[in-house]
Amino acid sequence: MTLEGARERRVRTGGVELSVAELGDPGRPVVMLVHGYPDSKEVWSEVAARLADRFHVVLYDVRGHGRSTAPSPLRGGFTLEKLTDDFLAVADAVSPGRPVHLVGHDWGSVQSWEFVTVHRTEGRIASFTSMSGPSLDHLGHWIKRRTHRPTPRRAAQLLGQGARSWYVYLLHTPALPELAWRGPLGKHWADVLRRGERVPGGAYPAPSLPTDAAHGAWLYRDNVRPRLHHPRTDAYAHAPVQLITPVGDRFLSERLHDELDRWVPQLTRRTLPAGHWIPRTPPEQVASWIGEFVTSVEAGRPSPATRGRYADRFGGRLVLVTGAGSGIGRATALAFAAAGARVVAVDRDQRSATATAEEARLRGATTAWAEQADVADEADMEKLAERVTLDYGVVDVLVNNAGIGLSGSFFDTTAEDWRSVLDVNLWGVLHSCRLFGKRMAERGEGGHIVNVASAAAYQPSRTLPAYSTSKAAVLMLSECLRAELAGQDIGVSAICPGFVHTNITATARFTGVDRVEEKRRQQRVSRLYGLRGYPPEKVADAILRAVVRNQPVVPVAPEARALHLLSRVAPRALRALARWQPRV
């Protein structure tokens, strides 16, 4: 996708002529996209096209890049002060009476931090979205604090970022970067991005890449050393800032932004499981977050990402939870809602799914929907996957929670009993992982799958042969999927709760007894679990934490952790415990 069809204009400023492209209705709020190194404005084509139906989108080639002319001489022509002049010239040309919403990536973000923190731009910027590019002033203070007051942790952070910044040192060498970019590096850059960053090809990068990269080396030479040695002490943002941090960025550490709240009074944080070039790799998500942030600022309300724990990670993400009508599923859906996610609550009981979706909206979900489906029914799940993808998009986080309980000895468990348990507890997970996980993989933007197993997955029991077998299969399935999908940035976590007070105990079936005895056992077990008092909200917290940390197997509750430890260090003790016959 290119910028064909965009309205073009030339803006003269400071001895250069800037190439400016515009998309969308000029009467709508202006979103200005500033590219990084070694890019031109074409890096934004995918994002710009997705924003153009709602905003007046403006892109320009930074001086010396793309179709903009270069300063002469090059040395001293790329200072932050001159780049600020360029920004103001473009802003005055496209939006003379209204502040613009600024978005920057890489060096576009570095220079935009200058724009949003200097006094002469106050009133010209309505908001700023930063991606993969820190303020040189903030970075200078970050380095000084770690060199003047070192601790082992600070030293490790400093060394880590120093290693990631290897290219900055090379760009300061005379002539070498220019020769590399006009030679082999420029010829093979598209292959480097495709293999190393999974950036799709097409019309990007632009044909002007070798010249853009050679000129852009002066961005580093004119600014990095002076600002890091003498950072400004008044570099406070005078507009709301949204920080989007790709956690897979190989050039910048997440730790660079640990102290950003000191400089930004109104800060919204989001993280993305992606590499450095996020304007090209997950353009849908980037455009969605930009649009949501701009809309919230225009409306004078806080962004959803400012609410709730983990809101920086899940704000605006699409989360689907099965078995969401009650218990762990409901608690999980509400926890994601509190983090600002878009929630799809799935349950075979439409009424309970609707109740969860309604509560999710009250808890802070960007939006929430209720869907009825039986996870054991393959055709039903196929229809659900098609409906969700068409109406809401590809799921970012999938939580397979739906399950049923069954207790009784092996010989009292009929073939039909086995089928009912495996259809829901195992096949339900298989259907969901295959249908939603495949779409997640085909999208190529990462994601996460959570399969709720049980501590029974690794604790054998003479009274739970069918249930334990189904959950052990879910645990192994999760481990296999995790291995297969790791290369596609899709995490898989198996959650193994212990005794959690949910209504599964009230609906669990008991084999080998009549209806009256089964009802008595259900009531007794529910009472015992109630006395244990471990709420499903704690499992929900563990699920969100597992996604954030990409944890493989997560025992939840003290007994689950103890049994998991025994399964690793003393399996004979678990086998002995399995012979115990509990009273019910």
Return the CATH number at 183.
Answer: 3.40.50.1820
User: How many structural domains compose the chain?
Assistant: 2
330 shares a domain with 283? no
- In three-state form (DSSP H/G/I as H, E/B as E, the rest C), the secondary structure along 63-112 is CCCCCCCCCCCCCCCCCHHHHHHHHHHHHHHHCCCCCEEEEEECHHHHHH
Based on the domain organization, do 286 and 321 belong to the same domain?
A: no
What pLDDT sits at residue 410?
A: 92
Q: What is the pLDDT of residue 149?
A: 76
Whether residues 298 and 329 share a domain: the answer is no
- Can 467 be counted among the known catalytic residues? yes
Together in a domain, 301 and 361: no
Residue 127 tokens read as 């908001």
Instruction: Name the residue with higher pLDDT: 258 or 80.
Output: 80
Query: What is the residue-wise DSSP string for 30-49?
Result: EEEEE--TT--GGGGHHHHH
Range with the lowest mean pLDDT among 237-246, 319-328, 374-383, 566-575? Answer: 566-575
Read off the CATH number of the domain in which 474 is found: 3.40.50.720
Least confident of 67-81, 87-101, 251-265, 386-400: 251-265
Q: What is the average per-residue pLDDT within 182-208? A: 86
Q: How far is the C-alpha of 481 from the C-alpha of 453, rounded, in Å?
A: 14
pLDDT tens for residues 12-34? 999 999 999 999 999 999 999 99
Asked if residue 287 has pLDDT above 80, the reply is yes
Q: How far apart are CA 526 and CA 529, in angstroms?
A: 5
> Do 506 and 563 share a domain, yes or no?
yes
Output DSSP code: residue 201: -
Question: In this structure, are 163 and 117 located in the same domain?
Answer: yes
Q: Are residues 279 and 340 in the same domain?
A: no
More confident residue, 210 or 392: 210
- The whole-number pLDDT of residue 63 equals 97
Q: Which of 220, 467, 529, 534 is catalytic?
A: 467
Residue 145 lies in a domain: yes
SS3 501: coil
The residues near 531 (Cβ < 8 Å, ≥ 6 apart) are none
pLDDT of residue 420: 93
Distance CA 505, CA 389 (A): 33
Q: Residue with structure tokens 């993305």? A: 272
Highest mean pLDDT (candidates 12-21, 250-259, 513-522): 12-21
- Asked whether residue 95 falls in the same domain as residue 156, the answer is yes
Inside any domain, residue 1? no
User: For residue 1, what pLDDT is reported?
Assistant: 41
Indicate if 326 and 373 belong to the same structural domain.
Answer: yes
Rg (CA), the chain: 27
Average pLDDT over residues 127-134: 96
- 447-452 vs 367-372, strand pairing mode: unpaired
386's tokens: 């098609």
Report the Cα–Cα distance between both ends of the chain, in Å, rounded: 65
Tell me how far apart the alpha carbons of residues 327 and 434 are, in angstroms, rounded to a whole number. Answer: 24
Domain annotation covers residue 2: no
Q: What is the pLDDT of residues 77-124, one digit of tens each?
A: 999 999 999 999 999 999 998 999 999 999 999 999 999 999 999 999
| Strand 16-23 with 56-60, pairing | antiparallel
- Do 286 and 414 reside in the same domain of the chain? no
Secondary structure (3-state) at 533: coil
pLDDT value of position 106? 96
The answer on pLDDT for 241 being more than 90 is yes
Query: Lowest-confidence range among 201-210, 332-341, 343-352, 455-464?
Result: 201-210
The predicted model scores a pTM of 0.65
Q: Identify the helix (H) or strand (E) that includes residue 495.
A: strand 490-497
Domain residues for the domain of 330 are: 315-576
Q: E strands, 177-336, where? A: 241-246, 267-272, 318-322
